[in-house]
Copies of this chain bind each other. A is one copy, B any other.
Amino acid sequence: MAYYVGIDLGGTNIKAGVCDSEGNLLNKLSIKTHAERTEEEIIHDMGKLALDVIKDLGKEVADIEAIGIGSPGTPDNDEGLLVYSSNLPFNNSPMRKLIREVIDLPVYIDNDANCAAMAEAVAGAAKGSKDSVTITLGTGVGAGVIANGRIYSGFNQAGSEFGHTVLVSGGVQCGCGRRGCFEQYASATALGRMTVEEAEAHPESILKDVLEEQGGTNAKVAFIAMKRGDKVAADLVDRYTDYLADGLANAINAFMPEVLVVGGGVCNEGDPLLIPMREKTMSRPYFGPGVKRTTIKLAEMGNDAGIVGAAMMGRYCLEDGKNGK
């Protein structure tokens, strides 16, 4: 059996685990990122964490085929660099070289949203499909595209920034500089913002009461108020799922995936979100008569997606003969 280490680099934590070649996660460890440190300190710690997680499993470095790293931002996997990352102190950082100073294995780097999509494709909701798109509704809207079993990265390895496609031309200002991005209407943050707007416009609503009970906005407020029979909240959820479905149908029309995987904390709301999301989304894409239709599924990999996807990304880079040294 072949083994792969996956490292999930985040702004707060660095997680690592060992997977077999089917994407089964065998163990995992986590350390704090301490993002205020230098790139060298952080990356050396990533290498040490890889050594620790291998040892923790009772394996040796020689038992491992490759290390895959999922990071926010844009990698240069050819050169082994992290070109850019918005929340971490990396700027054309020689990640492969610095990891290999600590542990002598092939090292591959890709974007964290792409790795999450790879995890779903190998071991999660899109298992068995060759073409899938994973959309994660969180602080922002992340997107990863798997085409013919491999991560679709574009020519510059930036991956699909589908969260930054405009859905509402001239709409809400986005941090990326554009107005009306999908992310501004479908993320958990967006639903939280819309909740405040509606509560202010309807001070008599249950929505307003729930907002105060919760001590601030989040993506749950609208669903709690709706369950208590609030029409303002029901209308808000209707509008939110309209936007969400428009963006998801855009992703289907753009990529025609076999499986569209949707994840992120908002999905924990269950049927009140999922039923309208599925129905509205599937009523919109442009399939001709007789053409096979996309299936929508919920993400299954949860917090392990980053580790497993990074490990499997490393596996396929190695198998495809990409340079990791």
Hey, which bits of chain A sit against chain B, CB under 8 A? 73-74, 83-86, 91-92, 129-131, 147, 152-156, 158-162, 164-169, 171, 176-178, 180, 185, 242-243, 246-247, 249-250, 253-258, 283-294
Provide the bound-state CA to CA distance between A286 and B159, in Å: 11
Establish whether residues A292 and B156, one from each chain, have CB atoms under 8 Å apart when the complex forms. Answer: yes
* A158 interface neighbour in B73, B162, B249, B291, Cβ under 8 Å: B291
Provide the bound-state CA to CA distance between A249 and B179, in Å: 12
Q: Give, as a whole number of angstroms, the nearest-CB distance from A100 to chain B.
A: 22
Provide the bound-state CA to CA distance between A178 and B156, in Å: 32
Q: Give, as a whole number of angstroms, the nearest-CB distance from A109 to chain B.
A: 14
Establish whether residues B254 and A162, one from each chain, have CB atoms under 8 Å apart when the complex forms. Answer: yes
* A253 interface neighbour in B83, B165, B291, Cβ under 8 Å: B165
Establish whether residues B169 and A291, one from each chain, have CB atoms under 8 Å apart when the complex forms. Answer: no
Establish whether residues B158 and A256, one from each chain, have CB atoms under 8 Å apart when the complex forms. Answer: yes
Chain B residues within 8 Å of A84, by CB: 288-291
Chain B residues within 8 Å of A169, by CB: 167-168, 171, 185, 242-243, 246
Provide the bound-state CA to CA distance between A230 and B180, in Å: 30
Complex: chain B residue closest to A162, CB-CB: B254
Q: Give, as a whole number of angstroms, the nearest-CB distance from A42 to chain B.
A: 18
Establish whether residues A284 and B178, one from each chain, have CB atoms under 8 Å apart when the complex forms. Answer: yes
Chain B residues within 8 Å of A85, by CB: 288
Chain B residues within 8 Å of A290, by CB: 74, 83-84, 91-92
What are 27 of the A-B contact pairs (CB < 8 Å)? A83-B288, A83-B290, A84-B289, A129-B155, A131-B154, A131-B155, A156-B258, A156-B293, A158-B256, A159-B256, A160-B253, A160-B254, A161-B254, A164-B285, A165-B250, A166-B246, A166-B247, A166-B249, A167-B167, A168-B168, A168-B169, A169-B171, A169-B185, A169-B242, A177-B286, A178-B286, A254-B255
